[in-house]
Amino acid sequence: METEPWGFHDPHTGELQGIWLDIAEKLEAATGIAQEKKLAPYARVMESLTLGDADLSYLIRSPDRDTEVVHAGRLFDFGSVIQARPEVPLESYDDLQGLRIGVLQGIRLSPRFDLDQQLYKIPVRNYETMLTMLAAGRLDAVSGNSLSLAYLQEQMQMQEDMGDRLVLQVTPVTVQFSSESQHLDLVPVMTKAVEHLRETGRIKAILDSWAGKHWRVDEEGGVE
């Protein structure tokens, strides 16, 4: 998936870099299976897996797509979160009422939030725009995945502009093979490697190197 910090081109060298590239490198070393890595927008990645044009990718687990992919190991969990300005209290879901909340177009964060028509959600094009609007006082809170928000807050030096964080749900990210792939015999090998890298802390070390530790949430939705 092509988006910073997950996968992007270095502006100086043009080389691929990001979290997915670092994870792919670890999996290649652990399995001996080479990956021909290409970046694509989220929708195109999903389409490529459905059609079998790509063998595997790294994506959030979505039950409505389980018939189209074969999961080859859980990499990590991140949080779908709302984060407010420092002066805005945000201790429970009810505190969202009346807030101007930035939301990426087309994103799904949690069933309750996504379907809630009572909230004042303002669609924005990307995280950078959303955070800039928060700093300028045009939003009361921002929403998204905990890792992207933590990374960009650090990049944009916005830590002092951020207040309370509410975790809507915890979402697993998995290695996903296309059900149409000709290499499904490699799923057990990949699964074993993923479990080893996760259990030895190497996956979280990659994520921490990009976003610090504030992205982490535990399975109950709190800060780890």
Q: Which positions of the chain have pLDDT values less than 70? A: 219-224
Domain of residue 18 covers 8-77+172-211
Specify whether 93 is located in the same domain as 127.
yes
- Taking the C-alpha atoms of 196, 200, 174 and 204 in order, what is their torsion angle to the nearest 10 degrees? -160
Residue 107 pLDDT: 83
> Can you say how many angstroms the Cα of residue 96 is from the centroid of all Cα atoms in its chain?
22
Q: Are residues 92 and 146 in the same domain?
A: yes
Residue 32 pLDDT:
96
> Do 133 and 205 belong to one domain?
no
Instruction: Return the biggest CA–CA distance within the chain.
Output: 54
How many domains does the chain contain in total?
Answer: 2
82/164 same-domain check: yes
d(C-alpha 29, C-alpha 34), whole Å: 9
Which residues are CB-contacts of 79 (< 8 A; sequence separation ≥ 6)? 145, 146, 167, 168, 169, 170, 171, 215, 217, 221
pLDDT at residue 221 in the model: 46
Q: What is the pLDDT of residue 220?
A: 42
